[in-house]
């Protein structure tokens, strides 16, 4: 592997020789979606970013503290809004599907002696709390924690415009991690239309947005001010906080 800090950390790149005979307590599961991201980012943007952040945090943990957290391959099945379902090759996963996938992963890890899992969610449409409560009932000796990668560090100190979907933040992070997959020349403006019901815009109530009516290019937020430098600046505190979370969940007790 090119980066020795990732050896035995990134399961998409390491082999059995890297992991055989090791002692592990913590696994990290990036979880994204398969969906359009404006016109300039790949369908797997949420998966790629969650995976990259998790690997960087796990590598830092291994390098600085000698604690190994293994990052599993990302799950590509996300929950989608109405209107997104009709976009070509956008995949919607029901609660029951996501619950079954997560349950099988937990059962596999538990059988192998692991007792801790962090789900690093990169897709705003996903919600894991109810299924984690279900699994806590089934496996009371197995701790599952969930972290939303896009909510760890506020955007306001790093970006000029707020990113809701495929805007300045996500584009900057992709330019930092995977510049070969970004074609900013093709990007739409990411203009969006709010609800006609003021209380929904004020978050007094919630309803799913109809993506065909809320956005023209599937983006919500302007990507034009994105840069790799902004992405690199933003990921530093995110990785620091994730590494701390990995340490505390992997080594500490819940109560």
Contact criterion met (CB below 8 Å) for 137 and 178:
no
> How much is the pTM?
0.95
Q: Cα–Cα distance between 7 and 1 in angstroms, integer? A: 7
Q: Rounded mean pLDDT of the chain?
A: 94
Positions of the chain with pLDDT under 70: 1-8
Q: Cα–Cα distance between 104 and 110 in angstroms, integer? A: 10
Q: Which residues pair with 146 in a beta bridge?
A: 119
pLDDT digits (tens, 9 = 90+) for 164-187: 999 999 999 999 999 999 999 999
Q: Percent of the chain, pLDDT > 70?
A: 97
The burial of 250, by beta-carbon neighbours within 10 Å (0-12 exposed, 13-18 middle, 19 or more buried), is given as: buried
Q: What is the pLDDT of residue 8?
A: 62
């Amino acid at each position: 592997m090119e980066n020795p800090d990732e050896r035995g950390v990134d399961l998409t790149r390491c082999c059995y020789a890297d992991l055989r005979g090791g002692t592990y307590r913590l696994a990290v599961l990036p979880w994204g979606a398969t969906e359009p991201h404006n016109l300039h980012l790949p369908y797997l943007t949420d998966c790629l970013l969650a995976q990259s952040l998790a690997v960087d945090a796990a590598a830092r943990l291994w390098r600085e503290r000698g604690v190994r957290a293994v990052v599993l391959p990302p799950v590509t099945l996300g929950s989608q809004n109405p209107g997104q379902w009709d976009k070509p090759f956008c995949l919607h996963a029901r609660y029951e599907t996501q619950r079954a996938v997560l349950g099988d992963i937990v059962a596999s890890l538990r059988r192998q002696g692991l007792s801790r899992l962090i789900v690093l969610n990169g897709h705003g449409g996903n919600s894991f709390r109810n299924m984690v409560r279900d699994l806590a009932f089934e496996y009371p000796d197995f701790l599952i924690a969930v972290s939303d990668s896009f909510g760890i560090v506020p955007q306001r100190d790093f970006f000029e415009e707020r990113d809701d979907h495929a805007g300045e933040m996500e584009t900057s992070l992709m330019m930092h991690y995977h510049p070969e997959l970004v074609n900013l020349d093709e990007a739409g403006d990411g203009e969006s239309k709010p609800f006609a019901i003021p209380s929904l815009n004020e978050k007094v109530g919630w309803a799913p947005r109809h993506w065909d009516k809320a956005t023209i290019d599937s983006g919500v937020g302007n990507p034009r001010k994105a840069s790799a430098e902004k992405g690199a600046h933003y990921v530093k505190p995110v990785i620091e906080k994730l590494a701390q979370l990995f340490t505390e969940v992997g080594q500490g007790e819940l109560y």
